[in-house]
Amino acid sequence: MASAAEQLAANLNLGVFAKATELKKRIWFTLGALIVYRLGTWIPLPGVDPMVLEDIFRQNGGGILGMFDMFAGGALSRMTIFALNIMPYISASIILQLMTTVVPTLEQLKKEGEQGRKKINQYTRYLTVVIAAFQAYGIAVGLESMGGAGARAAVMDPGLFFRFTTVVTLVGGTVFLMWLGEQITARGIGNGISLIIFAGIVAELPSALAGTLELGRTGALSALFIIILLMMVVAVIAVIVFVERAQRRIIVQYPKRQVGSKMYGGESSHLPLKLNTAGVIPPIFASSILLLPITLASFSAAGGPEWLTTVTALLGRGHPLYLTLYLGLIVFFAFFYTAVVFNPADTAENLKKYGGFIPGIRPGKNTADYLDYVLTRLTVVGAIYLSAISILPEILIAKYAVPFYFGGTSLLIVVTVTMDTVAQVQSHLLAHQYEGLIKKAKLRGKRG
């Protein structure tokens, strides 16, 4: 039997890849779409002074705005047409998923299969536009109250027209990215929304690394600390890869049954339950929830009421309130999203329907209770893992002013999306190999 390394090498064989024309088209489409996205992160909003914004973000970019800018791939600090990025869509998805558990109409739509899913997606798009419009208006008002060094205003010609053009531009940018993400998912490789966030983080990694080395050169950070930081990054990546591949395999037995004169079944299989069923969703959702109400507060803090300034200060990077809310939201969404993607009752019913059972557990409700028990324990471990990966680097980064891109959340997104995309590439290559074998078998059958 070939080793795992030999199988991987065979799957990624250049000859096989060269013949997989469908896969190549998907990869080129994905790369082209991501290039379009990156170009958009450099197109500035009309009527905004980029030099003043650069000064403002240099002074205030270490808090929650810096994290927002990380997810936006630097588009927020440059105040471009994609400044809101895909975050309003993620916020809308969270709200709709929460509502499906409490609103009977949405819950019924969720159970209707493909048609219901399309309807919920449509509602998500409408809600995305509303959230994006709210955030864009907050940004427009906040920009008008901002000023840089020498009393220079961030907005060249403030007023109703500037607010209108800003809202239209930012909402249009978010809607375009939402559409682009859906196109990547349908016609490219991987999940489009995740890849857009991934591309934004990866694109800024070289400048973040250069900035860290510059801090070491000027003496702001010691060489030993930079080495320890890089070792920590490697360790975090190793832990992420290990845990994301970890599974709890529940043995499922199928009874023997006789059809005519032949005996079928009797074999055993397994039901794989991932240690981290929710994946990268909890940190992204937690960040999005924190960003939604604070966007307006952060931009309006300079010229707004005192309580806005206080809220913005308390939600700064590394502050106890920020860390507590972030941790609580990660744990909540770890359990919530696991409950959304895996229903023990439905799984138990399907096993019973096809004659499968877990040894020592009675089919039906007992099986559902057992799966729920196992899944809850796994989710506890997964939530602890996500919290540790996301929070511990955050504390170090807040204390030593290291760029956001070396934080646990960004590394988790980059590693997880990379693993998922590589897995999809391998599955496409494997499907292509099977198609080739089927075609050869048909040709041999015709010759025979």
Mean pLDDT of 309-329: 76
Mean pLDDT score across all residues of the chain: 78
**What pLDDT was estimated at residue 410?**
79
Q: How far apart are CA 228 and CA 225, in angstroms?
A: 5
How do the domains of the chain map onto residue ranges? 4-447
Higher pLDDT pick, 311 / 138: 138
The pLDDT value recorded for residue 169 is 93
Alpha carbon distance 322, 330 (integer Å): 12
Q: Is the pLDDT of residue 130 over 90?
A: yes
Query: pLDDT (tens digit, 9 = 90+) per residue, 386-407?
Result: 988 888 766 766 666 665 556 6
Is the per-residue pLDDT at 114 higher than 90? no
DSSP result, 224-265: HHHHHHHHHHHHHHHHHHHHHH-EEEEEEE--EEEETTEEEE
- Residues with Cβ within 8 Å of residue 355, at least 6 apart in sequence: 254, 255, 257, 265
Q: Mean pLDDT over residues 70-81, rounded?
A: 77
pTM exceeds 0.85: no
Q: Looking at the predicted structure, is the pLDDT value of residue 254 above 50?
A: yes
Query: Helices (H) and strands (E) in the chain — how many of each?
Result: 17, 4
| Mean pLDDT in residue range 18-40 | 86
Please compute the mean of the pLDDT values over residues 52-81 and round it to a whole number.
70
φ/ψ bin of 250: left (φ > 0), alpha (ψ from -120 to 50), beta (otherwise): beta
Higher pLDDT, 441 or 204: 204
Task: Let me know how long the chain is.
Answer: 448
pLDDT at 132 over 70: yes
Please, where are the H alpha helices in 41-103? Answer: 50-60, 64-71, 87-99
More confident residue, 160 or 149: 160
- Can you tell me the distance from the alpha carbon of 20 to that of 23, in angstroms, rounded to the nearest whole number? 5
Q: What pLDDT digit, counting tens, does each position of 256-265 carry?
A: 665 566 655 5
Q: HSE (CB half, 13 Å, CA atoms) of 421?
A: 23
CATH architecture classification, 4-447: Orthogonal Bundle (1.10)
